[in-house]
Amino acid sequence: MIKYPTGVELHNGSLRINFVYKGKRIRKWLAMPDTAKNRKIAGEYRASIVYKIKMGTFVFDDEFPDDKRSSSYSKDINFIELVDLYMELKKTEIATSTLRRYDSISRSLMQFVNCKKSISTYTPADLLRIRNKLLTDHQLPNKYRPTRDDGRSVATVNNYMRMLLSLFRFAHRNKYIDDDITVDCGYLKKEKPIPDPLTEDEFKRLLIACQNNQSRNMLILSVYTGLRPGELTGLAWEDIDLVKKTIMVRRNVCGPSDFSYPKTGASTDRIISLLEPAFNCLKDQSLYTKMTAPIDVKVKTREFNKYRTDSCTFVFQPSIVSVNGVLTKFYSPGGFSQIWRSLIRRSGVRHRKSYQTRHTYACWMLSAGANPAFIATQMGHSSSKMVHDVYGAWMPENDQDQISLLNQKLNDSVPYVSPSSHNKDNIRFISNS
């Protein structure tokens, strides 16, 4: 009796192989006569197909281009193709800086994903394995991390996973995979981030560490306005009214030569009332940059492919403090962060990100008793809820002050009744004297 390799059979005088692909039994006639040599070839061919399916690299169209069933499997794509498709479709609805960040994270994920594996063959377990690798695998050294670190922070892993899960949900919605494999893969538990504002002593030490007035003015303005770093570097004298002591936030620097609207709708064209330290530092900065020549910049609006042109005399210009001939008229997104890191290093202040200057503004204002709703409008939040949620610990306990205020206001209208008698003649109003 003739013994056939696994998945090889005789059909109408010729050899045929069968295998399971996407839950369906596939049979392919090979037009090969039934000989011992051909049986071996057919068995090896079938084994190679099964291996490709297992590894996720099998593409039906490539293997059987003339098969009438190929169109039903034409949606097989790998991870790289999925990323490219996702980015191509998303670029019309998200900001350039966001698209750049998505692309960077996706390319980084390719170290942990089998890029040649068909998307349709991924399982929930595969996503969990990727998450574990992100959390525990070594990181290679770079200029900001000179040593080889073990693993990544939970915040970083969740950031990567947010992108990965978005890609696979996109694949499921567009029928590249049959099931939503993301439902069993959640984010890692993380402590709620707590603002880490500067203390007054740390702020003074940072000011002392400034090597020029422009750096000093940038630091003061960031702390006393709560501007985001991109809003700070995109600030122009055309946005400032020194008579009314206000700033209108109109743009954000999001790339070396890219400008966009501020982060949210509530942030755009918001009016910031200048506190005295901020007003004074702008008066000082005006001596250096206010009379320089303006330049035209294109600001990307929230509508796809639509820009507006602003004539800007930038408040902070690298060219006025340059020691290497740099003539740039505005700082890049990382410009303030670079200055900040230098100040941290020279001052010996505990390291934290430059964004903490924004948190410092909120915390200092709340500690001084400012109205949370006012702070929310100054910072570009749509309501005071964000202020309460994030900065609640810096709100002073002022219940007793409120009671004293109410007592003072109500004493003028509440009649005093003598405990000795309820006669109307004994009723009198308490005076303020």
| Same-domain pairing of 158 and 211 | no
| Same-domain pairing of 62 and 91 | no
Complete DSSP assignment for 353-416:
-TTHHHHHHHHHHHHTT--HHHHHHHHT-SSTHHHHHHHGGGS---HHHHHHHHHHHHTTTSEE
Residue at a domain's end among 315, 337, 357: 357
Q: Supply the pTM of this predicted model.
A: 0.68
- Asked whether residue 406 is assigned to any structural domain, the reply reads no
Residue at a domain's end among 54, 73, 92: 73
Tell me what percent of the chain is helix, strand and coil, each rounded to the nearest 5. Answer: 45, 15, 40
d(CA 110, CA 80): 8
Which is more confidently placed, 100 or 221? 221
Residue at a domain's end among 47, 73, 99: 73
- Asked whether residue 260 is assigned to any structural domain, the reply reads yes
| Same-domain pairing of 351 and 204 | yes
pLDDT at residue 24 is higher than 90: no
d(CA 153, CA 147): 15
- Asked whether residue 304 is assigned to any structural domain, the reply reads yes
Per-residue pLDDT tens for 116-128? 888 888 999 999 9
| Percentage of the chain modeled with pLDDT above 70 | 86
| Same-domain pairing of 293 and 209 | yes
Angle at 413 between CA 411 and CA 419, to 5 degrees: 70
On average, the pLDDT of the chain sits at 85
Per-residue pLDDT tens for 101-119? 999 999 999 989 988 888 8
| Same-domain pairing of 87 and 61 | no
- Asked whether residue 147 is assigned to any structural domain, the reply reads yes
| Same-domain pairing of 229 and 319 | yes
pLDDT value, residue 53: 80
| Same-domain pairing of 288 and 346 | yes
pLDDT at residue 277 is higher than 80: yes
Residue corresponding to tokens 């949606």: 75
- Asked whether residue 153 is assigned to any structural domain, the reply reads yes
- Asked whether residue 189 is assigned to any structural domain, the reply reads no
Instruction: Over range 341-350, report the average pLDDT.
Output: 96
pLDDT value, residue 399: 55
The residue segments making up the domain with residue 285 are 200-357
| Same-domain pairing of 237 and 153 | no
| Same-domain pairing of 98 and 237 | no
Q: How many domains does the chain have?
A: 3
- Asked whether residue 400 is assigned to any structural domain, the reply reads no
- Asked whether residue 408 is assigned to any structural domain, the reply reads no
| Same-domain pairing of 144 and 26 | no
- The CATH number linked to 311 is 1.10.443.10
The top-scoring range by mean pLDDT among 120-134, 168-182, 211-225, 408-422 is 211-225
Question: Catalytic amino acids?
Answer: 228, 263, 358, 381, 391
- The CATH number linked to 108 is 1.10.150
Confidence of residue 411 (pLDDT cuts 50, 70, 90): low
pLDDT value, residue 429: 44
| Same-domain pairing of 334 and 214 | yes
Smallest CA-to-CA distance from 113 within 75, 165, 48 is with 165
| Same-domain pairing of 29 and 103 | no
